[in-house]
Amino acid sequence: LAKTTQPISMDSYEGQEVNITCSHNNIATNDYITWYQQFPSQGPRFIIQGYKTKVTNEVASLFIPADRKSSTLSLPRVSLSDTAVYYCLVDKAAGNKLTFGGGTRVLVKP
Amino acid sequence: DGGITQSPKYLFRKEGQNVTLSCEQNLNHDAMYWYRQDPGQGLRLIYYSQIVNDFQKGDIAEGYSVSREKKESFPLTVTSAQKNPTAFYLCASSFGPDYEQYFGPGTRLTVT
């Protein structure tokens, strides 16, 4: 089962770009990389998913190097409402036993 | 209005009682999941079901049971065998293994 490692927490300021790197050294060929956001006392919400290179949507960008052993979630110009826990997951194409891990607590300060 | 619902939002039970948490979705998703979250921790998978009448144990299934008689419903029973049942329980659904999961609002269970 692929395991992910990400920083426990990071602080930022409004308007800055936040980059969260996740390590997944044992990622399998058919695994996708997915990021979720969770606010306190709510269920996580999907942010972005990718397999290789770069994926961008209206919320974030996901950078995946060629070896796919890590990935970086980039949140452009964060606001106070981006304060949340961000989880990096490596999907299993078969079995779907997702492991959320502890996530990264991002605190955006004014 | 499509979505995934969990009820109730807060639930209180006495130790030794079984309790069933509800999870319903009208997204036409085949797969459904139950997670447990303890304070300051990540989510841990309890059970998941990829199709009606079939489900598999997750990482922490002991003391829990589920059923999947209908596509829309995936109730979770927390039995008296679960040693530390107080937690935040989250239900999710998806079209399948490679698709994003949609989460319900959660049920906070307190057992005293």
Query: DSSP states of chain B as a string?
Result: ---EEEE-SEEEE-TT--EEEEEEE-S--SEEEEEEE-TT--EEEEEEEEETTEEEE-TT-TTEEE--SBTTB--EEE-TT-S---EEEEEEEESSTTSPPEE---EEEEE-
Rounded CA gap, B31 and B97, in Å? Answer: 8
Q: Tell me how far CA of residue B102 lies from CA of A106, B25, B28, B46, B56, in angstroms.
A: 22, 10, 12, 16, 19
B32 touches chain A (CB under 8 A): no
Predicted local confidence at residue A94, as pLDDT: 46
Beta strands in chain A (DSSP E): 9-13, 18-23, 33-38, 45-50, 53-56, 61-64, 70-75, 84-90, 104-109
Whether B97 and A101 lie within 8 Å, measured CB to CB: no
Whether B108 and A41 lie within 8 Å, measured CB to CB: yes
Reduced 3-state DSSP string for A52-76: CEEEECCCCEEEECCCCCEEEEEEC
Please tell me which residue, A102 or B22, carries the higher pLDDT value.
B22
Percent share of chain A, pLDDT over 70 = 90
- Cα torsion B83, B85, B89, B92: sign: positive
Contacts of B39 in chain A (CB under 8 A): none
Class of residue A71 by CB neighbours under 10 A (exposed 0-12, middle 13-18, buried 19+): buried
Closest CA of chain B from A1, distance in Å: 11
Rounded CA gap, B26 and B29, in Å? Answer: 8
Predicted local confidence at residue A90, as pLDDT: 85
DSSP state of A80: G
Rounded CA gap, B20 and B75, in Å? Answer: 7
Per-residue pLDDT of chain B (112 residues; tens, 9 = 90+): 569 999 999 999 999 999 999 999 999 999 999 999 999 888 999 999 999 999 999 989 999 999 999 999 999 999 999 999 999 999 999 998 778 899 999 999 999 9
Angle at B32 between CA A9 and CA A5, to 5 degrees: 25
- Partner residue opposite A43 with nearest CB, options B58, B96, B104: B104
Structure tokens at B106: 């959660």
Contacts of A101 in chain B (CB under 8 A): 42
- Partner residue opposite B41 with nearest CB, options A42, A46, A102: A102
pLDDT per position as a tens digit, A22-55: 998 888 888 889 999 999 989 999 999 999 999 9
Predicted local confidence at residue A92, as pLDDT: 62
Predicted local confidence at residue B52, as pLDDT: 95
Q: Which residue of B has its CA nearest to A51?
A: B98
Examine the pLDDT at A71 and tell me if it is beyond 60: yes
B42 touches chain A (CB under 8 A): yes
